[in-house]
Amino acid sequence: MSLPAAPLPNAPLPTAPLPSAPLPSAPLPPQPLSPLDGRYRPAVEGLTAFLSEAGLNRARVHVEVEWLIDQTDRSFAGSAPLTEAQKAALRAVVADFGQKDIDELAVFEATTRHDVKAVEYYVRARLAELGLDGVAELTHFAATSEDINNLSYALTVKQALFEVWLPRFDGVVALFSSLASSEAATPMLSHTHGQPATPTTVGKEFAVYAYRLGRIRSQIATSEFLGKFSGATGTYSAHLAAAPDLDWPTVSRSFVEGLGLTWNPLTTQIESHDWQAELYSRVAHANRVLHNVATDIWTYISMGYITQIPVKGATGSSTMPHKINPIRFENAEANLEISSALFASLAETLVTSRMQRDLTDSSAQRNIGVAFGHSLLALDNIARGLAEISINSAAMAADLDGNWEVLAEAIQTVVRAEITAGRSSISDPYAMLKELTRGHRVGQAELVAFVEGLDIGDEAKARLVALTPGTYTGLAASLVQYL
């Protein structure tokens, strides 16, 4: 049987017929394309004040205003220092920034086709309204757009991190810490490689999560937020041409540090974004640990170790009424993956700029809020998920009682100690226990009889006979104190 001839290279490809009831193609009213601005908006609302386009523009206005005030405070170019009332009026422009200002900036940008130039014209308009035309030329003085942008991004990311993301993150870690404390002594069968293993406690496992996240939190909270203010190629060339007698690096440092940022003395046109790469890598690390937590809790739910509390009126499955799906943790997994991917992309992209400047960072940085948004949404889901679960200690106890063979580790270890102490003549305790327990279940009676027949001291024998899977948890309960 011969195969049909392949279509010629220039022949049109066959198209699938339209369904008999095609999807309507009429346009909808304007809708958000991102679920963060639609379905999930309430969970991420706090970020919009900082990491939206409007939040960035407000920060740009703030930097421009503070730079103008800084210059007049130094009576630069013969300017007179502004009065406290004039400074307050200028700063009120930033504090009261709202929809009217957003719309006005959009009008400016429609003409300038340049976002930072639009901000400059907006600030000049405010100066005119306040009767400060005499210092209008100090607006954006000797600054390149990136002098304004890098400081604005540093300020908005810093505020979003400390005022929105970290408090939500801390809330989730606190929930883990609370479970660690309340369930410190609740025994649970471990599953290394998915197989029954030396028991632990629920509290100790949640303490592990809290401890891991706490370490990363400390690294995130001590991140640097760098800024530069040194002109078109980081050389202060225009500054020096206008005022050759000024110590411009000192002026720049004072201004950047006055904004609450760390001064970067050596840059090209852009601040090199290394601090951003470092921060985003740390947040992505936190995301990945949280992803591990979400998959663990999902697994414990599937095993019956953790039960979900029914929410009145909620539907678990559209066809299976009995189900309560672990959607909070599944949703968290997906959003943590998206966030981590975006942060990884940002960390990789932002550290490279061709020679003194290219614009790859411009589009990339507009997604900082999206990366934080998906992480924040995941944190929200984890917190809500933890509020809707309970620990099924009865199921855990039953599983422990069905896996007495996990005591083989304890027995062979005690025998080794007895051999060393001269109280036993057993030659290979590991092989002996392997033969007894590997690949099949051993019950309590069988294990007790085995211990009673061992050639070991009476005290060691009594300790082993008294041991149960539920009590074989070592120091797990007390390890929670290290949180």
Residues annotated as part of the active site: 193, 317
Provide the greatest CA pair distance for the chain: 100
Q: Which residues of 438-457 are buried (b: 16+ CB within 10 A; e: fewer)?
A: eeeebeeeebbebbeebebb
Rounded distance between C-alpha atoms, residue 104 and residue 109, angstroms: 9
Alpha helices, DSSP H, located in 113-161? 115-129, 145-160
Structural contact between residues 47 and 373, judged by C-beta atoms closer than 8 angstroms = yes
Amino acid, single-letter form, for residue 178: S
The angle that helices 368-386 and 327-350 make with each other, rounded to 10 degrees, is: 160
Report strand pairing: 226-227 vs 262-263: parallel
Q: Is 438 helix (H, G, I), strand (E, B) or coil?
A: coil
CA atoms within 13 A on the CB side of 290: 40
User: How far, CA to CA in Å, does 137 sit from each of 127, 140, 407?
Assistant: 10, 8, 81
Give 47-50's long-range contacts (Cβ < 8 A, gap of 24+).
Answer: 47/160, 47/164, 47/165, 47/369, 47/372, 47/373, 47/376, 48/369, 49/159, 50/156, 50/157, 50/159, 50/160, 50/163, 50/164, 50/369
At 472, phi and psi to the nearest 5? -85, 65
Q: How far out from the chain centre does Cα 312 lie?
A: 31
Three-state helix/strand/coil letters over 328-352: HHHHHHHHHHHHHHHHHHHHHHHCC
DSSP label at residue 74: T
Token pair recorded at residue 22: 């095609």
Rounded distance between C-alpha atoms, residue 202 and residue 218, angstroms: 25
Rounded distance between C-alpha atoms, residue 362 and residue 261, angstroms: 20
Q: Is 188 helix (H, G, I), strand (E, B) or coil?
A: strand
Report strand pairing: 195-201 vs 187-192: antiparallel
> Pick from 185, 179, 180, 178: which is nearest to 473 by CA?
185
Rounded distance between C-alpha atoms, residue 383 and residue 389, angstroms: 11
